[in-house]
Structures are given as structure tokens and as C-alpha cells.
């Protein structure tokens, strides 16, 4: 989808505004229709990114639950003190503290 949006932008740069050809002419009408598609296409792309981010967050939360479960089991088994992260934020803060992630984000 992003490639399609990019191609439409390239067409606009190459051919200009629909009015250059006249809205009553086939070329002008075709360009107007194509350019009108860009808004809905951009919205679809943005929604897709939002949906994907939400799914990643859910997957990460579930992974942290699993990590916490195994950390508990191993701590019980060998008396270790493995960390258990209750939230994504706790885990991110730990990654920043250890230098795995920068503190910028």
C-alpha cells in the first residue's frame, strides 16, 4: 500500500494538477480520481500501523507473562533472583538502565 501511495505522489509530481488538463476531460477526471484515492489510502495505511502496534503490544504483554512465569519457576528451583516484569514499561526501563536501549525514547 505504501508503494502505491508513493507511486500516486510520483504521478502527481510528473503530471501536476487535474485542472491542468481540465476536469471535464478524461485525463483531468482520471487524475482527480487518482489523487482523491490518496487520502483514503493514507488513512488505511495509518490504521494498519495502529492495529499492528496494538497487536505487538498484546504479544509483548503475553511474552512478559511467560517470562515472569519461567523466572518464578527457576527462582523456586535454584533459589535465584531473576527479575519479573509486571508491565512493558518496567521492562523498557530495565533495558534503558542496562544500556540495551537508549534513554531517548
DSSP string, 11-73: HHHHH--GGGT-TTSHHHHHHHHHHHHHHHHHHHHHHHHHHHHHHHHHHHHHHHHHHHHHHHH
- Is residue 58 scored above 70 in pLDDT? yes
* Domain contains 59: yes
* Domain contains 45: yes
* Domain contains 103: no
Band of pLDDT at residue 78, cut at 50, 70 and 90:
very high
* Domain contains 38: yes
Q: What is the mean pLDDT of the chain?
A: 88
Residue pointed to by grid coordinates 483531468: 28
The tally of domains found in the chain comes to 1
CA–CA separation, 31 and 8 (whole Å)? 9
Task: Please check whether residue 43 is in contact with residue 76, taking contact to mean a CB–CB distance below 8 angstroms.
Answer: no
* Domain contains 70: yes
Mean pLDDT throughout 65-78?
A: 94
* Domain contains 104: no
The predicted pLDDT at position 105 comes to 54
Mean pLDDT throughout 66-93?
A: 92
Amino acid at each position: 500500500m505504501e508503494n502505491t501511495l508513493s507511486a500516486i505522489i510520483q504521478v502527481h509530481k510528473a503530471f501536476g494538477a487535474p485542472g491542468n488538463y481540465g476536469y471535464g476531460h478524461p485525463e483531468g477526471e482520471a487524475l482527480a480520481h487518482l489523487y482523491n484515492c490518496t487520502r483514503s489510502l493514507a488513512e488505511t495505511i495509518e490504521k494498519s500501523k495502529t492495529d499492528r502496534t496494538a497487536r505487538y503490544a498484546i504479544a509483548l504483554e503475553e511474552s512478559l507473562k511467560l517470562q515472569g512465569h519461567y523466572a518464578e519457576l527457576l527462582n523456586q528451583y535454584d533459589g535465584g533472583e531473576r527479575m519479573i516484569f509486571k508491565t512493558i514499561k518496567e521492562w523498557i526501563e530495565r533495558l534503558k538502565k542496562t544500556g540495551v536501549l537508549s534513554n531517548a525514547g
